[in-house]
Chain A
Amino acid sequence: QKEVEQDPGPLSVPEGAIVSLNCTYSNSAFQYFMWYRQYSRKGPELLMYTYSSGNKEDGRFTAQVDKSSKYISLFIRDSQPSDSATYLCAMRGDSSYKLIFGSGTRLLVRP
């Protein structure tokens, strides 16, 4: 089983739709969970950071972590064409500085 799994997509939605992006993981030691947005040939840009379980909201973005299910989600409300990018989940445990990334989900928001 891969350490972090993420559906590569592409996911195509109309403008204004609610987008749901997800990752599953196998390592119960992971405590820090992040979502990054990556435009083509650019560096990952930090969107959301969550420690342990729970929800976090920032503007149109909501991150959820369910450690019992080893499942994390990112919701984007009122999606815009400018949200079109690849979304990467990343996570790590307490005892390591190494971030483990998912393979990324490519999102296309159609005008």
Chain B
Amino acid sequence: EPEVTQTPSHQVTQMGQEVILRCVPISNHLYFYWYRQILGQKVEFLVSFYNNEISEKSEIFDDQFSVERPDGSNFTLKIRSTKLEDSAMYFCASSEGQSGEKLFFGSGTQLSVL
């Protein structure tokens, strides 16, 4: 069964460093998303991406964050200067249709900022 894959599974970085989280969405999907889950808290939306541009973003997704689809298969989330509070599990998701109601999530990247 097709699945969303994310790398790395764990990422440890120093505060102020840049990190790039990588995702390979399901191949025929057109809509891509990043969510995050701080330990013990809700899964929360960061950004949605369609047709090579951001379609929606949350207030969390400030200028430190950016997303890119550098080729036909990868989807990346970059955090330019990490803060302690960026420590979380980051989930990539993708969906096929215009409505985007059936989101399929990857297994996540656990980001630890020290």
Contacts and interface: CB of A to CB of B under 8 A. Distances in A.
Interface of A: 32, 34, 36, 41-46, 49, 51, 88, 90, 92, 96-104
B87 interface: no
Given A96-B56, A97-B33, A44 B102 contact: no
Interface stretch (B14-22, B37-45, B62-70, B74-82): B37-45
A72 to B, nearest CB: 14
B91 A34 contact: no
B102 to A, nearest CB: 6
Q: B interface, by DSSP: helix, strand, loop or mixed?
A: strand
The number of chain B residues touching the other chain, given as a range, is 20 to 34
B48 A41 contact: no
Contacts, number: 55
A41 B88 CA distance: 11
Contacts of A101: 42-44
Contact of A51 (B44, B56, B101, B106): B101
Contact of B103 (A46, A102, A103, A104): A46
